[in-house]
Amino acid sequence: MGRLEGKVAIVTGARSGIGQATAIRFAEEGAKVVCCARRGADDTVNEIKQQGGEALSVKTDVSRLEDWRDLLNKTHEAFGDVDILCNIAGVAEIGTNILDVTEEHWNNILNINLKGLFFGMQAVLPEMVKNGGGKILNCSSISAHIGVEGVPCYTASKGAIGALSRQVAMQYADKNIQVNVVSPGIVATDMTSGDPELIKALMAFTPAGRLGQPREIAHLFLFLASNESDWITGQDFLIDGGWSAK
């Protein structure tokens, strides 16, 4: 049996990158996975099914509360109650000066990265309490822990994730609900594929000498989603190739 056998997991941002890798890794360990993204996650679901797993793609704008209600309804119809919520959906910015940030830009980043995650926790907590436990995993960033130039809105959203997660973890610890955060460093995804010179500089700055791979982050999410982490809650795990150790 897999480490998540019989569990139902929702993974947001599952169309590509860390979200896709995590959804596939969960399915490999026996979870029934609801793969969410604004444009759906059909490719991810197809790969899971080709490997013999069970998965469902749901088009979801995480910043819309009504989308979360629809997502839960479809999850219940297909698989049942939610055991694991993995909030990975996010948008980033590069090279933005705080003086140039518009209200529209601020709202776009915070709506996806923070409000969407908040709505997700709000949506699943009642049934996790009713069912006697659950796992909530939130994706933050190394930028929540160290200064990173040019990402003021992104940094604000990711820093708030840690504080919010600790508060929810404390409040629901006696309900057997664990809430933890994963803060990746620079990972090879679509977000980091645009500027070869920037990537080269980031690799040089990372003690490990390379970018992380989405599946490496997924392994950590899997551990935190499994029963092996039942006495771990309210923690923020940096996985960054040694960047934060400098």
**Total Cβ atoms within 10 A of residue 73:** 11
Q: Which two tokens mark 33?
A: 């996975």
Residue closest to 94 by CA, chosen among 242, 197, 240, 235: 197
Helix pair angle (17-28, 42-50), 10° resolution = 30
Catalytic position from the list 68, 154, 221, 243: 154
Q: Which of 17, 33, 40, 232 is nearest to 139 (CA)?
A: 17
Backbone dihedral region for residue 77 (phi beyond 0: left; psi -120 to 50: alpha; all else: beta): alpha
Report yes or no: 139 and 88 within 8 Å, Cβ to Cβ: yes
| Contact present, 63 and 44 (Cβ < 8 Å) | no
CA distance 7 to 4: 5
CB of 104 within 8 A of CB of 155? no
Read off the tokens for 18. Answer: 């860390």
Is 172 one of the annotated active-site residues of the chain? no
Q: Alpha-carbon distance 27 to 34, whole Å?
A: 10
Residues with a known catalytic role = 154
